[in-house]
């Protein structure tokens, strides 16, 4: 076990986790993009290094992708992305904002009543939609609401963060870690909810009590009068909202039913997601051809920015020569580096002035106007002031700044920027075409957490590498010695380790994968094995409300959105604010699991 290959594998794994928690960028020559070492790239580089050092072989990589011992990574990712697409497109219709306005009206001017109502609303929405859609839309809304109402934002956004992540433990589809646990431990999807509902209720109630104590001086008893908001005004697409709700609800119900028959749930979720995708395209096309205004919710790239005029933002974008990224380019789904708001922004990728001027002219052809009937922009009012060039000759003639090829001069000089300009024009034209013709899909696409794909597969491969070198068996032996294969010690060992490793093992996904492998290798009795599974379910969700942003993907999304809204939070403050909630929920949640297992297996 002390072989050089085994030690090297563990060291490289730990180093990759360090860069996941604290990303860095490698400087490069001018006009070259800097090289990020972060959540997306660090695990992949670790795999490449281990492969080059012969610490793993192609069989290990294959096992990490295809899966072993009942854990199927592709099943997890297909299920997660299918549900994420349906939840995000449902959010685009304005459902979450409509619910928020309704709750705001119900709370009235009582600050604590409104604080409780928002907490309950976010909890219920997170149970049904998962934590990521609620984080994406709810964070932007609360920043806007607290600014308008002149409230301290931290009491509200921290409560949202805790509620969304805690509620994701109820349904097996609420968090990718839940799917890992169900597959790795053979827990039925419906039984998973039966096991976790009581720990969730205890965690949720005690979390609110701790938050209320912690922010007792931050939430005013009486709120200043604000304008009454009509929830129907926020519900921008009633038809899409009804169709999306029915399809998402049907998917969740069928996934629970088929889990009793051993059918992979992605076989249910994927067809529904494809059906929702086709509906979105058809419905957007119908509305555009029939002159029905298409409006997008606050979380969309077009309507984001907290009441800023979309047309004004685009005008500023073109005036700056495309030097400021749009909201779509800063999409939270891209999971930018930890240093995104501390490091200076990189310069535009195309340095020649001709390239910038050409892109400026292209962007000026797509100006958005304000819909007079609503504060949300309407894509139906979008018009092009001139046509886009579709061929080489037109592209060059429409931009006199671009040097034309000289027929007598022979082959084009390598310094002429025609090729990158044409590629940029084509990419910009295609993006604007999607934005105008299919805004629902165009809005949902950048919000999908694509960074999860390489990260999840990389984590599976790295942990397979640890298993290949014998480390998983070593950890399993330690667990057997510490727990004695007894139920109660196993619950607290796995639960506490799970919360800690969410911060130290590359998000809660990495921690869940590692501990699932360790528990399976320990060959615990059925009762202790089941107790470990439920304790890990509590820990992987509660552990997201933790000390580092990288403890969960939702934490990275949350921090990114706040940064985009000009509300920055330091790592130290984040850890301090989560200290009491995480201690309370860990103790209470694992205590309820202990009581459940005592009743089920020791009575």
**Tens digits of residue pLDDT in 138-159:** 887 888 788 877 888 889 999 9
More confident residue, 40 or 489: 489
Token couple for 161: 């963060």
Count other Cβ atoms within 10 Å, centred on residue 225: 9
Specify the pLDDT at position 235.
84
Q: What b/e readout covers 70-98, taking b as 16+ CB neighbours within 10 angstroms?
A: ebbbebbbbbbbbbbbbbbbbbbbbbbbb
- What's the pLDDT tens digit per position in 233-259? 778 888 998 999 899 889 888 887 887
pLDDT confidence of 283, banded at 50, 70, 90?
Answer: very high
Sign of the torsion formed by the C-alpha atoms of 207, 209, 213 and 219: positive
pLDDT confidence of 305, banded at 50, 70, 90?
Answer: very low
Q: Specify whether the CB–CB gap between 132 and 507 falls below 8 A.
A: no
Angle at which helices 266-289 and 238-258 cross, to 10°: 170
With vertex at residue 251, the alpha carbon angle to CA 248 and CA 253, rounded to the nearest 5 degrees, is 110
- What's the pLDDT tens digit per position in 538-571? 999 999 888 888 788 788 878 877 887 777 888 8
More confident residue, 367 or 480: 480
Token couple for 496: 């506490």
- What's the pLDDT tens digit per position in 371-415? 433 333 333 333 333 333 334 344 334 444 444 444 444 444 444
More confident residue, 587 or 296: 587
Specify the pLDDT at position 189.
83
- What's the pLDDT tens digit per position in 462-511? 888 988 888 999 999 999 999 999 999 999 999 999 999 988 876 788 88
SS3 content of the chain, % helix, strand, coil (to 5): 65, 5, 30
Token couple for 129: 């939609």
497's CB contacts (< 8 A; 6+ apart) are 515, 539
347's CB contacts (< 8 A; 6+ apart) are 31, 323
Q: What b/e readout covers 365-395, taking b as 16+ CB neighbours within 10 angstroms?
A: bbbbeebeeeebbbbbebeeeeebbeeeeeb
Dump the DSSP string for 362-389.
HHHTEE----TT-SS-BGGG-EESSPPP
Q: Specify whether the CB–CB gap between 89 and 440 falls below 8 A.
A: yes
Choose among 497, 506, 486: nearest CA to 551.
506
pLDDT of 355 higher than 80 = no
- What's the pLDDT tens digit per position in 150-208? 888 889 999 999 999 999 899 888 888 888 898 889 888 888 999 999 999 999 999 99
What Rg do the C-alpha atoms of the chain give, in angstroms? 25
pLDDT of 224 higher than 60 = yes
Q: Cα–chain-centroid distance for residue 210?
A: 26
In the numeric block, the tokens 């700044």 are attached to 401
Q: Specify whether the CB–CB gap between 159 and 204 falls below 8 A.
A: no
Dump the DSSP string for 290-338.
TT---B--TTSTTT-SSS--HHHHHHHHHHTTT-S--TTTT-GGG---T
Q: Which residues pair with 383 in a beta bridge?
A: 367
Sign of the torsion formed by the C-alpha atoms of 181, 187, 188 and 194: negative
pLDDT confidence of 519, banded at 50, 70, 90?
Answer: very high
Supply the mean pLDDT for the chain: 77
pLDDT of 227 higher than 50 = yes
Specify the pLDDT at position 119.
94
Q: Cα–chain-centroid distance for residue 537?
A: 19
Dump the DSSP string for 493-548.
HHHHHHHHHHHHTTHHHHHHHHHHHHHHHHT--HHHHHHHHHHHHHHHHHTTSSSS
pLDDT of 83 higher than 80 = yes
pLDDT confidence of 328, banded at 50, 70, 90?
Answer: very low
**H or E element: which one contains 596?**
helix 571-601
- Give CA separation, 233 vs 87, 311, 485, in Å: 20, 21, 57
Specify the pLDDT at position 481.
93
Spans of all domains in the chain: 77-177+187-289
Choose among 277, 300, 286, 231: nearest CA to 92.
300
- What's the pLDDT tens digit per position in 14-37? 998 888 888 888 888 877 888 888
């Amino acid at each position: 076990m002390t072989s050089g290959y085994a030690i090297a594998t563990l060291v490289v794994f730990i180093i990759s986790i360090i860069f996941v928690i604290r990303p860095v960028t490698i400087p490069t020559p001018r006009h070259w993009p800097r090289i990020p070492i972060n959540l997306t790239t660090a695990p992949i580089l670790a795999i490449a290094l281990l492969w080059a050092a012969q610490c793993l072989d192609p069989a290990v990589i294959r096992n990490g992708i295809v899966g072993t011992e009942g854990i199927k990574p592709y099943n997890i990712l297909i299920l997660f992305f299918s549900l994420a697409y349906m939840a995000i497109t449902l959010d685009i219709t304005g459902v979450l904002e409509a619910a928020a306005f309704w709750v705001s009206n119900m709370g009235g001017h009582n600050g604590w009543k409104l604080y409780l109502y928002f907490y309950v609303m976010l909890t219920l929405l997170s149970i049904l939609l998962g934590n990521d859609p609620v984080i994406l839309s709810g964070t932007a809304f609360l920043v806007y609401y607290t600014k308008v109402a002149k409230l301290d934002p931290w009491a509200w956004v921290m409560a949202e963060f805790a509620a969304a992540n805690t509620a994701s433990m109820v349904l097996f589809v609420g968090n990718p870690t839940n799917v890992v646990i169900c597959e790795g431990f053979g827990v039925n999807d419906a039984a998973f909810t039966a096991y976790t509902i009581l720990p969730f209720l205890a965690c949720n109630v005690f979390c609110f009590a701790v938050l209320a104590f912690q922010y007792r001086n931050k939430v005013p008893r009486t709120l200043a009068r604000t304008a009454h908001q009509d929830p129907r005004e926020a519900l921008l697409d009633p038809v899409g909202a009804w169709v999306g709700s029915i399809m998402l609800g049907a998917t969740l119900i069928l996934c629970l039913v088929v889990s009793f028959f051993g059918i992979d749930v992605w076989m249910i979720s994927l067809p529904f997601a494809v059906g929702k995708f086709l509906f979105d395209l058809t419905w957007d096309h119908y509305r555009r051809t029939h002159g029905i205004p298409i409006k997008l919710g606050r979380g969309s790239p077009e309507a984001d920015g907290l009441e800023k005029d979309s047309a004004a933002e685009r005008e500023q974008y073109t005036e700056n020569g495309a030097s400021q990224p749009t909201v779509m380019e800063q999409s939270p789904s891209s999971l930018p580096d930890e240093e995104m708001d501390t490091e200076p922004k990189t310069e535009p990728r195309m340095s020649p002035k001709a390239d910038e001027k050409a892109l400026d002219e292209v962007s000026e052809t797509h100006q958005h106007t304000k819909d007079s009937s609503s504060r949300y922009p309407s894509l139906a009012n979008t018009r092009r002031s001139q046509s886009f060039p579709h061929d080489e000759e037109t592209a060059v003639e429409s931009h006199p700044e671009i040097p034309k090829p000289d027929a007598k001069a022979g082959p084009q000089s390598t310094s002429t920027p025609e090729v990158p300009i044409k590629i940029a024009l084509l990419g910009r034209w295609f993006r604007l075409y999607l934005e105008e013709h299919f805004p629902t899909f165009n809005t949902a696409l950048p919000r999908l957490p694509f960074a999860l794909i390489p990260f999840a597969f990389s984590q599976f491969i790295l942990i397979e590498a640890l298993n290949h070198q014998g480390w998983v068996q070593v950890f399993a032996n330690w667990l057997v010695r510490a727990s004695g294969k007894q139920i109660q010690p196993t619950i607290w060992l796995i639960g506490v380790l799970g919360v800690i490793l969410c911060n130290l093992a590359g998000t809660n996904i990495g921690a869940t994968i590692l501990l699932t492998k360790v528990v399976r290798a320990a060959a615990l009795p059925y009762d202790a094995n089941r107790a470990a599974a439920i304790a890990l379910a509590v820990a992987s969700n509660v552990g997201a409300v933790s000390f580092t942003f990288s403890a969960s993907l939702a934490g990275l999304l949350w921090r990114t959105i706040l940064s985009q809204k000009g509300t920055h939070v330091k790592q130290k403050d984040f850890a301090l604010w989560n200290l009491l909630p995480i201690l309370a929920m860990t103790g209470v949640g694992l205590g309820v699991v202990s009581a459940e297992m005592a009743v089920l297996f020791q009575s």
